[in-house]
């Protein structure tokens, strides 16, 4: 026996270094893949500062969003941290012990990762992003997969035959998938909610039978961000009977004068700013006269030919000589430019090279045609230099679309937080002050034109919903406004007003909820901090700093060097704190806020 042991000792000692070498190689490969993921993305969580050193210490990790077991990464959970960028096709292929991947609720774009070789994966959540292209066939080889969530993206092509026996939860809704649902999935008992709101998808469990030509769809090429897919929704050509039942409402310009309600709003708004320059008043009056009345034209077509004839007689506001119909819109190439809580947003390029923005509403099955029509008719009449204009909308049982004018520029969130580093062009204080003024003016206009005491005129005010045009001198435009009145109460938590104290305490909401959101936004502009980042109460922290001893420590590093403007920053901060008072009655009205901001600018210009 001893002699046998003696013979095997060299073999055992040779295996030990080999095993250690293999473990070290696996560790380096795993860590390198995680660092590649980190370097491909950006977010408000500063992963570059946190993801350093070894990812695992036995069963613990110091890396944000990482869980470990026996020195190996088993979970990656980075949902809702505003990740931007695209994933490498072979992302994470060396994180071999990964069982759960959650990147949902971000702004990731491009093709889905193949996840090739990650055979231990049980849960994959990539929902509510901007992923495009097809679902990788490699997903069918993830035999231990129990949950797959890909909803609320811009995925196209056919649904692969996901025949995993353990797959118990599947959600592919709100995409642009097409063709027939594989029988392997239909037989598994998944209900329609797993597949709904994919206009080109058919077969059980959807109540939409497949025609012969759609049962074997061809797989389109993957679409990356910035590319133009063949279509953004199936064209209704050849489906005139179905299109005939759709309602398309076009908000167009007429020829006489503004609608009476809008005239009152403009007059009221103009009177509240009597100290503005006479020249500005004259220009505003001339512009109002040239625009003509805001009218809502309702066109219900029996055939697409009738729709084309009627719609081409209309001129769309802010799109010079642009005419299009639903058929043109649905067959046009598009690119995902935004994902939000109430819908995804697409940049659609028409055959005429005209560009519009389309928001595809989701989770609004209870919304009636009458409710949406009434609200869109009101919003379509609004004209203000600080509002993105709504030019059309579409209602059907399957789809609810809102068409906006397209603004060339970036979101305020992008200008404040993206691409921080040496190559970044900072947003100076003068630009920030002008942006705040424009936001306040747009919000004040909404509050005057939509004075409904139990509804919130904007309700979704945040930096990602403010567009800064590249050709205007930092003149902001508000978008995504006016949805509160058509949303059921259960969906209000998807809007920015879910952050206000009265909502959190179950109290009645008023326009003062918008004022609170405006205050949060101003604090974000002054401090450079995202209000939702971390668990800290931003207004409380700022108030404590201001009341105890005003300090430049709370200022964004990009503006702290402008010491001669610190008093202006303090004044604007105090306005923001007044807007974020806990009790709604103590918050100012937006017309007063505009005046106070204009006083700061007037003092600044007199230096």
| pLDDT at residue 3 tops 60 | no
How far apart (Å, rounded) are the C-alpha atoms in residues 276 and 567?
24
Tokens of 30: 């795993």
How many degrees, rounded to 5, is the angle at CA 307 between CA 306 and CA 311?
Answer: 125
The residue among 438, 434, 417, 435 whose CA lies nearest residue 426 is 417
Greatest Cα-to-Cα distance within the chain, rounded to the nearest angstrom:
108
Q: Which residue has the higher pLDDT, 554 or 46?
A: 554
Q: What is the DSSP letter of 158?
A: P
Residues above pLDDT 70, as percent of the chain: 70
Radius of gyration of the chain (CA): 27
pLDDT at residue 452, as a whole number: 66
What is the distance between the alpha carbons of residues 503 and 518, in angstroms, rounded to a whole number?
Answer: 16
Write the CATH number of the domain with boundaries 24-214: 3.80.10.10
According to the per-residue pLDDT averaged within each range, which of 3-12, 252-261, 302-311, 573-582 is highest?
573-582
Asked whether the predicted pLDDT for residue 144 surpasses 50, the reply is: yes
User: 372: pLDDT confidence band, cut at 50, 70 and 90?
Assistant: confident
- Residue 238: CB atoms within 10 A of its CB come to 10
CA dihedral angle for residue 400, residue 405, residue 406, residue 409, rounded to 10 degrees: -120
Q: Would you state the structure tokens that stand for residue 345, as one six-digit string?
A: 């947003």
Instruction: Tell me what the mean pLDDT of segment 345-369 comes to.
Output: 79
Confidence of residue 75 (pLDDT cuts 50, 70, 90): very high
What's the start-to-end Cα distance of the chain, in Å?
97
pLDDT at 91: 83
- Cβ atoms of 56 and 68 within 8 Å: the answer is yes
d(CA 85, CA 87): 7
> Residue 39's pLDDT band (boundaries 50, 70, 90)?
confident
Task: Round the average pLDDT of the chain to a whole number and report it.
Answer: 74
Q: Are strands 477-478 and 466-469 parallel, antiparallel or unpaired?
A: antiparallel
Nearest CA to 401 out of 242, 191, 233 is that of 233
Over residues 149-199, the pLDDT tens digits come to: 999 888 888 999 887 888 899 999 888 888 898 888 877 788 888 888 887
Token pair of 247 as six digits: 């309602």
Please compute the mean of the pLDDT values over residues 127-131 and round it to a whole number. 87
* CB distance 569 to 555 below 8 Å: yes
Structure tokens at 599: 């006083």
* pTM given for the model: 0.63
Higher local confidence (pLDDT), 175 or 336: 175
Asked if the model's pLDDT at residue 268 lies above 70, the reply is no
For 155, the 3-state DSSP assignment is strand
CA distance linking residue 493 with residue 499, whole number of Å: 8
Least confident of 286-300, 507-521, 587-601: 286-300
**pLDDT given at position 525:** 95
Lowest mean pLDDT: which of 7-16, 94-103, 532-541, 545-554? 7-16
User: If DSSP codes are grouped into helix, strand and coil, which group holds residue 338?
Assistant: strand
3-class secondary structure, 42:
strand
- For residue 308, the cross-strand partners are none
What pLDDT does 245 receive?
Answer: 33
User: DSSP class of residue 579?
Assistant: H
Confirm if 233 and 267 have CB atoms less than 8 A apart: no
Q: Would you call 603 helix, strand, or coil by DSSP?
A: helix
Residue 362: the pLDDT is 75
Report the C-alpha dihedral over residues 283, 286, 291, 294, rounded to 10 degrees.
Answer: 90
What gap in Å lies between CA 550 and CA 543, rounded to an integer?
Answer: 10
Q: What is the pLDDT of residue 120?
A: 92
User: Which pLDDT does position 6 carry in this prediction?
Assistant: 46
Tokens of 148: 């797959």
Residues 6 or more apart whose CB falls under 8 angstroms from that of 79 comprise: 102, 103, 104, 105, 106, 125
At which residue do the structure tokens 């998944």 appear? 190
- The arrangement of secondary structure in 240-254+293-405, i.e. its CATH architecture, is 2-Layer Sandwich (3.30)
| pLDDT score of 493 more than 90 | no
DSSP code string of 503-524? HHTTPPP-THHHHHHHHHHHHH
Distance, in Å, from the CA atom of 196 to the CA atom of 198, rounded to the nearest integer, reads 6
Structure-model confidence comparison of residues 485 and 280, the more confident one = 485
Three-class HEC string of 235-299: CCCCCHHHHHCCEEEEEEECCCCCCHHHHHHHHHHHHCCCCCCHHHHHHHHHHHHHHCCEEEEEE
In whole angstroms, what is the distance from residue 572 CA to residue 524 CA?
A: 12
Question: What is the mean pLDDT of the segment spanning 595-600?
Answer: 94
Helices 538-548, 512-527: inter-axial angle, 10-degree rounding: 70
Report residue 521's pLDDT band, with 50, 70 and 90 as the boundaries: very high
Question: Residue 331's pLDDT is what?
Answer: 66
Q: Does position 251 have pLDDT exceeding 70, yes or no?
A: no
- Domain coordinates in residue numbering, the chain: 24-214, 240-254+293-405, 409-605
Is pLDDT at 381 greater than 50 in this prediction?
A: yes
The arrangement of secondary structure in 409-605, i.e. its CATH architecture, is Orthogonal Bundle (1.10)
- For 39, the token pair is 């370097």
Domains 240-254+293-405 and 409-605 share a fold: no
> Could you tell me if 263 and 293 are in contact, meaning their C-beta atoms sit under 8 angstroms apart?
no
Q: Which two tokens stand for residue 388?
A: 């993105």
Residue 328 belongs to what H/E stretch? helix 326-330
Q: How far apart are CA 97 and CA 157, in angstroms?
A: 30
Cα of 22 vs its chain's centroid, Å: 43
In this predicted model, what pLDDT tens digit does every residue of 411-455 receive, in sequence order? 999 898 877 666 678 889 999 999 999 999 999 999 998 866 667
**Nearest 10 degrees: CA dihedral of 485, 487, 492, 495?**
-80
Task: Note whether 394 and 401 are within 8 A (CB).
Answer: yes
237 pLDDT more than 50: no
Integer CA distances (angstroms), 121 to 49, 139, 526, 553, in order? 27, 10, 43, 45
Quick one: which of 594, 432, 430, 405 has its CA closest to 526?
A: 432
Helix (H, G, I), strand (E, B) or coil at 387: strand
What is the C-alpha to C-alpha distance for residues 546 and 527, in angstroms, rounded to an integer?
12
And the tokens for 331?
């067959």
Report CA 392 to chain centroid distance, whole Å.
20
Helix (H, G, I), strand (E, B) or coil at 59: coil
Cis-peptide, bond into residue 205, ω within 30° of zero: yes
Assess whether pLDDT exceeds 80 at residue 143: yes
Cβ burial of 148 (10 Å; 0-12, 13-18, 19+) is: buried
Q: Is the dihedral of CA 258, 261, 265, 268 positive or negative?
A: positive
CA distance 203 to 210: 5
Range scoring the smallest mean pLDDT among 148-162, 175-189, 338-352, 517-531 = 338-352
Please report the pLDDT score of residue 431 as a whole number.
Answer: 92
Which band of pLDDT confidence, cut at 50, 70 and 90, is reported for residue 484? confident
Could you tell me the pLDDT band of residue 121, with boundaries at 50, 70 and 90? Answer: very high
Average pLDDT of 543-561? Answer: 80
| 101-112 mean pLDDT | 89
Distance CA 11, CA 390 (A): 76
């Amino acid at each position: 026996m001893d002699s046998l042991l003696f013979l095997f000792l060299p073999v055992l000692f040779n295996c030990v270094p080999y095993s250690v070498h293999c473990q070290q190689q696996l560790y380096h490969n795993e860590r390198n893949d995680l660092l590649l993921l980190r370097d491909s993305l950006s977010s408000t969580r500063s992963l570059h500062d946190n993801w350093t050193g070894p990812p695992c210490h036995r069963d613990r990790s110091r890396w944000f969003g990482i869980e470990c077991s026996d020195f190996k990464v088993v979970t990656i959970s980075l949902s809702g941290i505003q990740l931007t960028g695209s994933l490498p096709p072979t992302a994470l292929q060396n994180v071999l012990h990964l069982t759960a991947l959650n990147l949902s609720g971000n702004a990731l774009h491009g093709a889905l990762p193949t996840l090739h070789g990650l055979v231990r994966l049980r849960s994959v959540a990539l929902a509510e992003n901007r992923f495009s292209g097809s679902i990788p066939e490699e997903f069918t080889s993830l035999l231990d997969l129990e949950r797959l969530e890909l909803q609320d993206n811009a995925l196209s092509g056919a649904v692969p035959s996901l025949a995993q026996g353990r797959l118990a939860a599947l959600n592919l809704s709100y995409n642009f998938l097409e063709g027939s649902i594989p029988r392997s999935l239909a037989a598994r008992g998944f209900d329609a909610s797993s597949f709904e709101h994919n206009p080109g998808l058919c077969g059980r469990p959807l109540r939409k039978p497949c025609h012969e030509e759609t049962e074997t769809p061809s797989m389109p090429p993957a679409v990356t961000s910035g590319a133009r897919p063949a279509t953004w929704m199936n064209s209704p050509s050849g489906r005139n009977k179905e299109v005939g039942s759709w309602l398309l409402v076009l908000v167009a310009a007429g020829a006489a004068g503004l609608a009476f309600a809008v005239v009152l709003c403009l007059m009221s708004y103009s009177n509240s700013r009597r100290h503005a320059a006479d020249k500005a008043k004259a220009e505003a009056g001339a512009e109002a006269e040239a625009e003509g009345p805001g009218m809502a034209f309702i066109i219900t077509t029996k055939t697409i030919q009738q729709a084309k004839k009627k719609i081409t007689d209309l001129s769309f506001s802010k799109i010079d000589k642009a005419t299009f119909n639903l058929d043109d819109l649905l067959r046009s190439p598009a690119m995902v430019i935004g994902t939000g809580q109430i819908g995804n947003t697409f940049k659609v390029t028409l055959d005429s090279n005209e560009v519009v923005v389309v928001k595809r509403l989701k989770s609004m099955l209870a919304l009636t045609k009458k409710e949406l029509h009434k609200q869109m008719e009101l919003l379509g009449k609004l004209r203000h230099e600080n509002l993105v204009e709504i030019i059309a909308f579409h209602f059907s049982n399957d789809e609810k679309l809102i068409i906006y004018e397209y603004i060339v520029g970036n979101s305020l969130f992008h200008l404040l937080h993206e691409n921080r580093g040496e190559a970044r062009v900072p947003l100076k204080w003068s630009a920030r002050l002008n942006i705040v003024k424009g936001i306040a003016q747009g919000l004040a206009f909404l509050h005057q034109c939509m004075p409904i005491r139990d509804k919130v005129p904007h309700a979704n005010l945040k930096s990602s919903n403010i567009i800064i045009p590249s050709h205007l001198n930092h003149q902001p435009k508000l978008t995504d406004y006016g949805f509160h009145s058509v949303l059921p109460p259960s969906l209000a938590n998807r809007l920015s007003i879910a952050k206000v104290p009265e909502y959190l305490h179950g109290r009645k909401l008023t326009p003062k909820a918008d004022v609170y959101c405006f205050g949060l936004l101003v604090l974000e502009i002054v401090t450079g901090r995202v209000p939702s980042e971390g668990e800290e109460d931003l207004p409380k922290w700022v108030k404590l700093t201001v009341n105890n001893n005003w300090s430049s420590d709370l200022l964004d590093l990009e503006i702290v060097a402008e010491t001669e403007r610190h008093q202006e920053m303090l004044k604007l901060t105090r306005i923001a704190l007044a807007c974020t008072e806990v009790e709604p009655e103590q918050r100012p009205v937006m017309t007063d806020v505009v005046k106070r901001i204009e006083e700061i600018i007037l003092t600044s210009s007199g230096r």
